[in-house]
Amino acid sequence: MSAQPSVAPDRSVLRVEDLSVAAGSTPLLHEVTFAIDRGERVGLIGESGSGKSLTALAVMGLLPEGLGATGEVRLSARSPATRNLLEVGERAMARLRGDSMSMVFQEPMTALNPTMRVGAQVAEVMTIHRTRPKAQARARAVELLEQVGLPDPAHVARAYPHELSGGQRQRVVLAIALANDPGLLICDEPTTALDVTVQATVLDLIVRGIEERDAAMLFITHDLAVVATVCERVLVMYGGRIVEAGPVTEVFADPRHRYTQGLVAASDLTGIDGARRERAALPTIPGTVPPAGRFPDGCVFRSRCAHATEVCRTRPPWTTRGEHPAGEHARGFACHHPAGGERDD
Ligand SMILES: Nc1ncnc2c1ncn2[C@@H]1O[C@H](COP(=O)(O)OP(=O)(O)OP(=O)(O)O)[C@@H](O)[C@H]1O
Ligand SMILES: [Mg+2]
């Protein structure tokens, strides 16, 4: 049985159900379940090593060699909704990547070809997927570079990646990711490597690009304030499990899982109702994230949790609240001793 809610078919663009990933006998992700609707922006947060990137890579069919995935990943946008992407071949996945779904990574240089002019790289993603004939793709590439806020886009199109700044390169990557109007965009720390001043602009461009296309977005970040700005819903991950989920404002103002409570307490979320605090003296979560495969059984967080008791040696059930208790959009958490009182059930 899944520890998380089952996913009902609806407007979802992405449905992930009971996704587990392992490196040989070392489990890395456990029964990860969530869905993202058209037009919805969902954040995925958690400390380093919690499994955020692996979740994204499993969805994209880009897991490193040696890792195996089980469960279900289904995309409804422009692909038969019934296909489990974990079971389709690499050629079919390559057709989906850059077309129905695309991804923006932290470091733009890794996504760009250093020997190719950036305009040609934006055009190429359209000609490879045959969404535009070659003649139109070049012109469309310049339009896309303009849409991501690059001044003098015709000039930028003729530049090589090394001639651009980090922020400009990330805009080019975004133009490539949006070129074929994907139904799903996954961003993994897309602005972490950028200057703070550039960050806000790039985040704004990402949100605008998603809104214009009515696409779905999974946004991975360490930064809770960024999630609060960009996303409507948030998934909190620890030890390769989703431990809490729900609307951003509710989860950050009233975290139930003790891990989420620690993350929120350690963040500067000034400006979010109910979570205002001074920047000075932010508490930290005690201890460190264990290496993969070394998380305790039962509640994965219990080795660091001040509230843990004997019952935490057993797996906490997924407790839902809110309007759609059985749905994947419900507010839910998996904690035996939740903040704000005992479990409601
Ligand atoms: N190829 C691999 N083989 C074995 N273990 C791996 C592999 N890739 C990742 N892991 C382990 O899986 C766990 C989750 O890694 P993941 O990269 O998803 O974390 P993350 O949440 O994205 O962290 P960060 O915030 O640092 O990017 C980590 O313990 C990591 O060491
Ligand atoms: Mg990562």
Taken in order 266, 268, 270, 272, the sign of the CA dihedral is negative
Say yes or no to pLDDT of 25 above 70.
Answer: yes
**Which of these, 187, 167, 178, lies nearest to 144 by C-alpha position?**
178
Q: Can you tell me which atom of ligand 1 is nearest the CA of 55?
A: 18
Structure confidence at residue 176 (pLDDT):
95
Q: Can you tell me which atom of ligand 1 is nearest the CA of 46?
A: 21
Structure confidence at residue 1 (pLDDT):
40
Helix or strand holding residue 200 (H, E) = helix 196-213
In short, whether 82's Cβ falls inside 6 Å of ligand 1 is no
Structure confidence at residue 344 (pLDDT):
47
Distances in Å between the Cα of 223 and the Cα atoms of 111, 226, 266, 268, 341 are: 22, 5, 10, 9, 27
Give the model confidence (pLDDT) of 156-215 as tens digits.
Answer: 999 999 999 999 999 999 999 999 999 999 999 999 888 888 899 999 999 999 999 999
Q: Ligand nearest 187 Cα, by number?
A: 2
Give the model confidence (pLDDT) of 313-324 as tens digits.
Answer: 999 999 987 655
Distances in Å between the Cα of 49 and the Cα atoms of 53, 152, 241, 262, 308 are: 9, 40, 11, 16, 22
Q: How far is the CA of 292 from the centre of ligand 2 (A)?
A: 13
Token pair of 185 as six digits: 């965009």
Protein residue closest via CA to atom 13 of ligand 1: 49
- Averaged confidence pLDDT in the chain: 88
Q: Ligand nearest 68 Cα, by number?
A: 1
Give me the residue label for tokens 């020997």.
Answer: 115
Structure confidence at residue 280 (pLDDT):
54
Q: How far is the CA of 67 from the centre of ligand 1 (A)?
A: 11
Give the model confidence (pLDDT) of 44-60 as tens digits.
Answer: 999 999 999 999 999 99
Say yes or no to pLDDT of 106 above 90.
Answer: no
What torsion, rounded to 10 degrees, do the Cα atoms 290, 294, 298, 301 define? 0
Structure confidence at residue 277 (pLDDT):
47
Q: For the chain, which domains are there?
A: 1-90+221-345 (3.40.50.300)
Protein residue closest via CA to atom 4 of ligand 1: 23
Give me the residue label for tokens 């001793």.
Answer: 337
Token pair of 208 as six digits: 């605008």
DSSP string, 123-169: HHHHHHTTSS-HHHHHHHHHHHHHHTT-SSHHHHHTS-GGGS-HHHH
CA pair distance 245, 320, nearest whole angstrom: 9
> Could you tell which of 32, 54, 221 is best to mutate to test the pocket of ligand 1, judged by most ligand atoms within 8 Å of the CB?
54
CA pair distance 313, 302, nearest whole angstrom: 8
- pLDDT grade for 345, boundaries at 50, 70 and 90: very low
CA pair distance 330, 16, nearest whole angstrom: 15
Query: What percent of the chain stands above pLDDT 90?
Result: 73
